[in-house]
With several copies, the nearest count.
Chain A
Amino acid sequence: MLIEYIVGLSGLIAAGLFIYGLKAMSSPVTAVSGIVTAGYGMVFVVGATFLNLFNISPDARPHLLVNVALAVVALLLGCLWTGWRGRTVQMTAMPQMVAIFNGMGGGSAASLAAVSLLSDHATSGLHLSVTIVGALIGCISFTGSIIAWAKLDGRMRKPVRFGGQRIFNAALFLIALVLGALTVMQYATPQGVLPGILFFAAALLFGVCMTLPIGGADMPVVISLYNAFTGLAVGLEGYVMGNPALMIAGMVVGSAGTLLTALMAKAMNRSLTNVLFSNFGDTASSAKGPEGEMKSADPSDAATSMRYASSVIIVPGYGLAVAQAQQKLYEFVKMLVADGVDVKFAIHPVAGRMPGHMNVLLAEAGVPYDMICDMDDINDSFATTDVALIIGANDVVNPEALTDKSSPIYGMPILNAYKARQVFVIKRGSGTGYSGVQNPLFFQKNCTMVFGDAQAVLSKMVEAVKALGTA
């Protein structure tokens, strides 16, 4: 009883620390302390769980030593592997890393459900149903996240699509539901085992099939959705286990993640249904839009005109992440600043492939966050700016989004880089961006292309400015 109280209170404290930590993460100033606070909560509650060893069911007592050994090994393995991966992963690979960790959580929730179904002391049909629903969601999150990882990590280049896919998926989902219902009805009978196993198989398979047709670029939204899914699954399994700390932590993430997903989808000017069920972002829509003459310049010329400009706004995009050129970019910017140029970064909310992607990249390179401006704050300044330098960005500066109703990105707010007196665009060729549409900005009179990989171009630019400095 005493131990139960201690463990119960430790969960209470941990839940409080989690919420507090999540709240602290809502400001850059307190964010670091926020994750640390949440971390303390986690250490505390995991530690307290070991007190439950004094309280295990009589049947399990003979296995105590083995079980504890297994637990310690599993903990160590899990922590070491992900700790190492998490420490060494490149910043640009964050989305797929988060996907993996999230999938692991979903899998863990699903295995909790499996354990509950195996044990024969379930109390009610309600409990069993909640268990099954949690298992379903957890399984989807598990395999779905793995597919998301594979796509983002470039191990699965093409979305897998075939005729009748939606019907197939719907059927699979129904089958999983039916199997789940069978499992509940035949609980604790020998006939219940097979439907149970098949249920898990169907749920896992559905996670795969649901994610396969979605284009790689939509993955961040999907990962965020699966993050919410895992939270929900954890919350439901927490109810099954009678553990309110799991319920609270899970449900807080479930609702926060749902909101985050909605914000993301909205920022990309899409609906969630559209992300999940349409085949957008895939058919490398070869219907090229505007045609015309692109001017191009070489890096040193562009660098020179920026060096003598009085104000420059830099618009980074996905290409910067691909080229891993953020350090070089900041090196270049520091030289401009030293020469008295007023430089700002303009960040579009959905630049890159996950929300805040550019902020993280720039922060990684050491760019102070007061040089970084949100879209709404800086959009009016372009008109009075000498040079807008666009690096590996495309959709987020496409003026068609403002004017062309037939464009797939119509309605998305953009950075008004086209209004700057002079626009430079660094990209490798005439590749389109995520949405697959051409960008009329590139044919504009005030726009000059600087072709090449962003990293290479920026290196040359740095050289060019250095040369000017010594001259």
Chain B
Amino acid sequence: MMDSVTSMTFIIALYIFMLAAFTGYVVISRVPSILHTPLMSGSNFIHGIVVVGALDALFNATTLTGQIIGFVGVFLGAGNVMGGYVVTDRMLAMFRPSQKQTPEKKGQP
């Protein structure tokens, strides 16, 4: 695995982590409080990318244990992705300015 095109040394990994952490910090630091809840679920959606790792693991599974764990991983990851997206999307769709206030309602009975 270390000879793939995306392999990296530990130091390089630290550089990437540093940059990513800084990015997350800067991006959030000025968010208005009105968006805190959708933002929590939006970032929740983003870490759903773990499903990609789980898929790779399942694809390369050779034992039954591996398959079971991989299956569980993909299921959980997919749930994270889809749930996070749907919930965020629903919340954000509700924030609209008064001018174009359409009477149609979504979801909720």
Which residues of A come within 8 Å of B, CB atoms? 1, 4-5, 8-9, 11-12, 14-16, 18-23, 25-28, 31-32, 34-36, 38-39, 42, 45-46, 49-50, 52-53, 56-57, 59-60, 63-64, 66-68, 70-71, 73-83, 85-91, 94, 97-98, 100-102, 104-105, 107-109, 111-112, 114-116, 118-119, 121, 123, 126, 223-224, 227, 230-231, 234-235, 237-239, 241-257, 259-260, 263-264, 267, 347, 349, 354-357, 359-360, 363-364, 366, 368-372, 374
Contacts and interface: CB of A to CB of B under 8 A. Distances in A.
Given A59-B62, A101-B84, A243-B6, 5 more contacts: A9-B14, A77-B75, A87-B86, A108-B74, A230-B47
A355 B50 CA distance: 26
A60 B31 contact: no
Contact of A355 (B4, B37, B77): B37
B108 to A, nearest CB: 7
A374 B88 CA distance: 22
A78 B79 contact: yes
6 contacts: A68-B59, A82-B78, A83-B82, A83-B83, A241-B53, A254-B24
B47 A253 contact: yes
B34 A74 contact: no
Question: What DSSP secondary structure best describes chain B's contact surface?
Answer: helix
Contact of A115 (B38, B66, B84): B66
B57 A115 contact: yes
A369 B54 contact: no
Contacts of B37: 94, 354-357, 359-360
Contact of A360 (B51, B69, B94): B94
B59 A52 contact: yes
A223 B33 contact: no
Nearest to A85: B83
B31 A5 contact: no
Contacts of A239: 13, 17
Contacts of B61: 60, 63, 67, 115
Contacts of B10: 126
A115 B33 contact: no
Contacts of B44: 98, 101-102, 105, 227, 230, 253
Contacts of B78: 74-79, 82
Nearest to B54: A108
B71 A74 contact: yes
A81 B78 CA distance: 10
A60 B50 contact: no
Given A74-B74, A79-B82, A356 B58 contact: no
B46 A241 contact: no
Given A60-B61, A108-B80, A349-B33, A251 B87 contact: no
Nearest to B100: A368
B67 to A, nearest CB: 6
A50 B97 CA distance: 41
